[in-house]
Amino acid sequence: MLDLKEVTLFIGQGDDVRPLLADVSASFPKGHFGAIIGPSGCGKSTLLKVITGIAPGEEEGAIYWNGRDVAEEDFAPSEIGYVPQFSIAHEELTVRECVSYAMRLRVRKLPAEALEEAVGTILREVSMEEFEDRLVSVLSGGQRRRLALAMELVSKPAILLCDEVTSGLDPQSEDEIVRLLHGLSRTDGRVVLSVTHSLRHVELYDSVLVLYEGVVAYHGPPQFLTHYFRAHDAQDLYAQLALRSGKEWAQSWKKHRQAFVDSKDKQGTSKAITFDSGEADSAPTVEIQPEKPPAASSLPGPGAISQFFTLLSRRSKIFFRNHTQLALQLGLIFGFPILVAVFAWNGLPSVKNLSMGLDLDVVQQLVEAKEFLVQASKVGSLVSGIVMFQVILLTLMGANNSGREIAAERLIFEKEKLAGLRPLSYVASKAVFLGFLVLAQSLWMGIFVHFVCGFPGDLGTQLVFLVLVNAAMTSVCLAVSSFLGSAEQASLVSIYLVGFQLPLSGAVLALPDFLGVLVRPFIAAYWSWSGVLQTLKGERYYDIVQMVVQTALSPASLCLWVLGSHIVIGFFAAWIGCQRRNLV
């Protein structure tokens, strides 16, 4: 039994606090198919989010599941399933792959044959077996809704909450989905609650909960709906609701709801629902006798390591199937190093020594010194510029790597987190996947420039600094992506972070001392640039660079520590961001 007791939800702060839901009370026995209807903005979807525990705001009242207060002991991930209005699945995967990955993330590891059999059973249950090899991107609206249901059924939830899963569908698809939901409520003693605007199939529901302006206007059998609201038919219901305020409807319902008495036996099993016709003084009584449903079963969830490998496998498959993204990555990996090498395609120019010959007169010595300074300035600027160009391009690739990584699949992640996905497993899978991109991008950049341009210094140490700056920006932008709600916002902020790297690094123009001290710890480009230039010690280019740069170079060991701290802090912040509830 799912019991809602005077559930109220407040949003806003200070003097702007207002209720989205007010004193919502309702009971739903096992094996029950209930509709939640009402005009737009009346709190239908919000009520589902309150039940699942993901609604924003301050809550009052209580929710009980089988006599258990879920405020004290929350739903187990396998106990509840939530299907949002719009189907959310990875477009690059097939129907079977989506269900298979959902099962691997929610159910403790099964043998391969058992997994395939279980997936096939679920696909048959939602009539999707003939589409199992189709990509999600080519599915129709009705097929996507059935896929979303299939993905929720993998853990056999005892409560299935559906948020307008029939909206926007053609009549035939809507009919199929409603009848499918009705059938699901009749298996495993499942409570199925469906938010809907449509009243075409009202007779299929066991009960109808009408919300209006955040309050309960009615909750009872569908056959008495029109009588209670004095409507000619169900389609006139919304017009009748508009004739009175939400407060008036709530008062009316409080007056008449005693006619709806849910009798219980000692075990709490629903035995009967009686109904007063809606007239205050005369009330014929009608009884409905639902069968006693079997108890719903819950399945043990997988471990954190199992979820990690499942997520890593899925992310890799999506990456290689997204040909546009794959082409972009290849273009960046091979194109950016060429942009850098163009400036010294024939190698770095050598710097002639001053002859310091005694046979030269003063004028000739001055001319030679001037030529040396001009040439040294050009070469030093070129060496410093090549390093900074590599660093900036790698930070740009880092932003591209992860700026959209979490924000673009926010709804999918939040749904999976609700079903038991551990944020640590999720962030760890992102770290490993992005780590391969960082290594490919950074190592090729350093190796290509080193050999094409004849760049001096210790190549191994230089590669370390190039990898670290890419990884630092990747981790920071992953954190940005975890906190922002849209991929566009995350991408924009990530690009801004890259834009600040060059001017605030001090590599081109020296910053005032006080400003440099304040901002330099946050500028990954400076620490990588400084670290790479430190590898030139023992080379003549090092002294030449020192002549032209106005910003002091930091020790290589300090550069390593700072870049490493950027990476650790970035991934830790991403984990914090993923812990937050942010289901739109």
Return the ∠ at Cα 476 (arms to 472 and 482), rounded to 5°: 145
Check whether 269 has a pLDDT greater than 90. no
Give CA 145 to chain center in angstroms. Answer: 20
Q: How confident is the model at residue 357 (pLDDT cuts 50, 70, 90)?
A: low
pLDDT digits (tens, 9 = 90+) for 516-540: 888 889 999 999 999 999 999 888 8
Q: How confident is the model at residue 342 (pLDDT cuts 50, 70, 90)?
A: very high
pLDDT digits (tens, 9 = 90+) for 190-202: 999 999 988 888 8
Residues in the chain: 584
Unique residue bearing structure tokens 């009520």:
47
pTM: 0.86
Q: Answer yes or no: are the C-beta atoms of 418 and 104 closer than 8 Å.
A: no
What architecture is the 2-288 domain classified under in CATH?
Answer: 3-Layer(aba) Sandwich (3.40)
Give me the DSSP letters along 284-301.
Answer: ---EE-PPPPPPPP--PP
* Alpha helices per DSSP H over 403-422: 410-418
Q: How confident is the model at residue 167 (pLDDT cuts 50, 70, 90)?
A: confident
Kindly report the three-state secondary structure assignment for every residue of 196-263. Answer: CCCCCCHHHCCEEEEEECCEEEEEECHHHHHHHHCCCCHHHHHHHHCCCCHHHHHHHHHHHHHHCEEE
pLDDT digits (tens, 9 = 90+) for 30-64: 999 999 999 888 989 999 999 998 888 788 999 99
Check whether 297 has a pLDDT greater than 80. no
Give helix then strand counts, H and E, for the chain. 19, 13
Query: Which residues make up the CATH 3.40.50.300 domain(s) of the chain?
Result: 2-288
Question: What is residue 118's predicted lDDT score, i.e. its pLDDT?
Answer: 93
Question: What is residue 32's predicted lDDT score, i.e. its pLDDT?
Answer: 95
* Residue 18 bridge partners (DSSP): 11
Q: How confident is the model at residue 556 (pLDDT cuts 50, 70, 90)?
A: very high
Question: Which of 23-27, 54-58, 175-179, 298-302 shows the lowest per-residue confidence on average (mean pLDDT)?
Answer: 298-302
Question: What is residue 362's predicted lDDT score, i.e. its pLDDT?
Answer: 64
The arithmetic mean of pLDDT across residues 159-178, rounded, is 90
More confident of the two residues 541 and 264: 541
Unique residue bearing structure tokens 């005009």:
39
**For the packed helices 171-185 and 141-153, what is the interaxial angle rounded to 10 degrees?**
10
Alpha-carbon distance 205 to 31, whole Å? 11
